[in-house]
Amino acid sequence: MAFYSLKTGRARYRQGWLFAAALAVCLVLASPLLVIVWQAAQSDPADFIDTLWRPLVASLALNTALIVASTTLLCGVLGLVSAWFSERTRLPWQGLWPLLSVAPMAVPTFISSYAWVSLSDDLQGFPGALLVLGSAYSPLVFLPVSAALRGLDPALEETARTLGLGPWRCFFRLILPQLRPALLGGMLLVALSTLSEFGAFVLLRFRTFTTEIFAEYRAGFDSHGAAQLSIALLLAAALLIGLEWRVRRQASSYERRARGTRRAPPRLELGAGKWLVVAGFLLLSCVTLLLPLSTLGYWLTQHGDAAVSPVEVSAQLLFDASFSSIELGLEGAALTVLLALPLGYLLARRPGRVAAFMERVAFLVQGVPGIVIALGLVTVSIRVIPGLYQSQFLLLLAYAILFLPLAMVSVRSALLQAESRLEELARSLGLKGWQTWLRVLLPMAAPGLGAAASLVFLSIVTELTATLLLSPIGTETLATQIWADTSAMAFAAAAPYALILTVLSMVSTWLLMLLLGGNAINRLAADGTTVAGETAHV
């Protein structure tokens, strides 16, 4: 059906546009990183060695490596197991488990760390860090893996089963290899987010390269030491990204090629074992959701009589802060998805070295703490586009740079699922390029793009560092209000803001799940070949 062969001038022109757009996005993403490299390069080599060879660095490196490896592994296992059980086994209250698996993402890590530390001091340091990050980040594996599980071709499995493969061997020999790209992609995001985590480690007294970068700003007021440590983080991030690339390339031969038939894969009957799985899910939710949130609720009620009085809390302030948060969240999510489109499209339609390289550049940003990115943007903006400095647009751009990797996963798979045959058909029927995008591609990819937007929204409303540095002067959001109160230890005053923020996060998580579920429903409705009984639970 390829009426537009690649060789025609128009197609080449189209492709040129695509590359140019993707390249432009990449340059914007990389600009704060270039500032870091430039700053580090300017410092004296002896100074560089001093920063990286001081006594503390060995323990920082060990801590960083330990927490990255163990969090990634834990999230990989948790995400994979919970995705498999919630997608591929028949459980009571089937719709609940995916929601409970993703909801911990809506609890900011500084909140859950505070809750755990106030429960027991034994949770300081490594055990607490693993607990908090394992809970917060396993949804990053759960989401892509469950999407991939839904997209698998059931025919292969059925063939294997009829050929005598048991369910366990079928999982390890057939399903797991097919899940590898999604699993590895999710684990990479976990690893990079752990590298740049700050809020949780501060409260848990766990020192890594990232906490040291913040300390460097405090002790020296100077970005050179921070830039030098950031280079170490960048190298670590590059190493992780390279590792994932290698493993993924080995796995690529398993990726499904034919996308002709689509129907929901069968769900396994577990018999009485299903209650064991339900118990497991409930126990996990107790640890990831119930305990931290109820501890926090308890502490928020344990304040003195005078706690609220010194600070103003009015309905107007609450409303204004919520409105700013929602506005920034929506606009930032829209911009992030918009910027993710050319890259995602390139990856979906023209995969290759160039596209893969560009994707990796976007991922690099995820491994560097927000303060470094935000300060890098200050420098870039003042030197390149001074008129935009501290404008709302620059703040939105900062959000896009920080959260594009999160959006990328959904955007890419949404565009992959919007079949290129239909796009070609639309072109052959006379639709222009932009018409094809508006009338064919975007409607088909809408649920996936919506899911990406919800994820970015969630991240933006809880973001603090870039918001404080880059927002138009006088902007007050829920996150900045919570910071303003908690930095004066006015936890009681922060409570109403924290409550609204948690509700907002929960709603966007719910929306995220709804859109991802909707994706599956649309697909089932479209091909109409549902297995009997399967429609009931989707």
Partner 1 sequence: MKPFIKQGLLGAATLISLGLALPANAASLILYSAQHPQTVKLLVKDFEQASGISVKVREGEGPELVAQLMAEGKASPADVYFASNSPELMALEGKQMLTHLPATTLAAIPAKYNSPSGNWVGVTARENVLVVNNKLAAGLSMPASLLDLAAPQWKGKLAIAPSDGDFLPLVSAVRALKGDAAAQKWLKGLRDNAQMFDDNEGVAAAVNRGSVAVGIINNYYWARLQVELGAKGMHSQLYHFGNGDVGALLNVSGAGVLKTAHNADAAQKFVSYLTSARAQQVLAKSNITFEYPLLPGIAPAPVLKPFSQLAPPPLDMQKLGDDSQAAPMLRKAGLL
Residue 184's nearest CA partner among 281, 254, 259, 283 is: 254
Binding mask 267-286 for partner 1 (x = CB under 8 A): --------------------
- CA 418, CA 448: separation in Å to the nearest integer? 10
Binding mask 395-434 for partner 1 (x = CB under 8 A): -------------------------------------xxx
Which of 161, 263, 267, 303 is close enough to bind partner 1 by CB under 8 A?
Answer: 303
Residue 144's nearest CA partner among 414, 339, 444, 354 is: 414
* Min dist. Cβ of residue 371 to partner 1 (A): 6
Does residue 391 touch partner 1 according to CB under 8 A?
Answer: yes
Direct distance between the N- and C-terminal alpha carbons of the chain, in angstroms, rounded to an integer: 33
Does residue 300 touch partner 1 according to CB under 8 A?
Answer: no
Which of 164, 166, 221, 532 is close enough to bind partner 1 by CB under 8 A?
Answer: 221
Does residue 306 touch partner 1 according to CB under 8 A?
Answer: yes
Does residue 490 touch partner 1 according to CB under 8 A?
Answer: yes
Q: Residue 140 or residue 449: which is nearer to partner 1 going by CB?
A: 449
Does residue 217 touch partner 1 according to CB under 8 A?
Answer: yes
Does residue 251 touch partner 1 according to CB under 8 A?
Answer: no
Does residue 228 touch partner 1 according to CB under 8 A?
Answer: no
| Spatial contact of 268 and 90, defined as CB atoms under 8 Å apart | yes
Residue 522's nearest CA partner among 435, 436, 443, 415 is: 443
Does residue 121 touch partner 1 according to CB under 8 A?
Answer: yes
- Give the Cα-Cα-Cα angle 391, 383, 48 (nearest 5 degrees): 115
Q: Which stretch binds partner 1 (CB under 8 A): 66-74, 165-173, 373-381, 505-513?
A: 373-381
- What is the token pair recorded at 414? 């949404």
- Give the Cα-Cα-Cα angle 26, 30, 32 (nearest 5 degrees): 145
Does residue 312 touch partner 1 according to CB under 8 A?
Answer: yes
Residue 189's nearest CA partner among 100, 72, 268 is: 72
Does residue 305 touch partner 1 according to CB under 8 A?
Answer: yes
- CA 183, CA 75: separation in Å to the nearest integer? 10
Residue 527, amino acid: D
How many residues of this chain bind partner 1 (CB under 8 A)? 67
Which of 92, 443, 472, 533 is close enough to bind partner 1 by CB under 8 A?
Answer: 472
Does residue 223 touch partner 1 according to CB under 8 A?
Answer: yes
- Give the Cα-Cα-Cα angle 316, 320, 321 (nearest 5 degrees): 120
Q: What is the DSSP letter of 166?
A: -
* Min dist. Cβ of residue 287 to partner 1 (A): 22
Residues contacting 443, CB < 8 A, separation 6+: none
Binding mask 84-113 for partner 1 (x = CB under 8 A): ------------------------------
Residue 371's nearest CA partner among 206, 238, 223 is: 223
Which of 45, 304, 352, 430 is close enough to bind partner 1 by CB under 8 A?
Answer: 304
Q: Residue 392 or residue 522: which is nearer to partner 1 going by CB?
A: 392
* Min dist. Cβ of residue 223 to partner 1 (A): 6
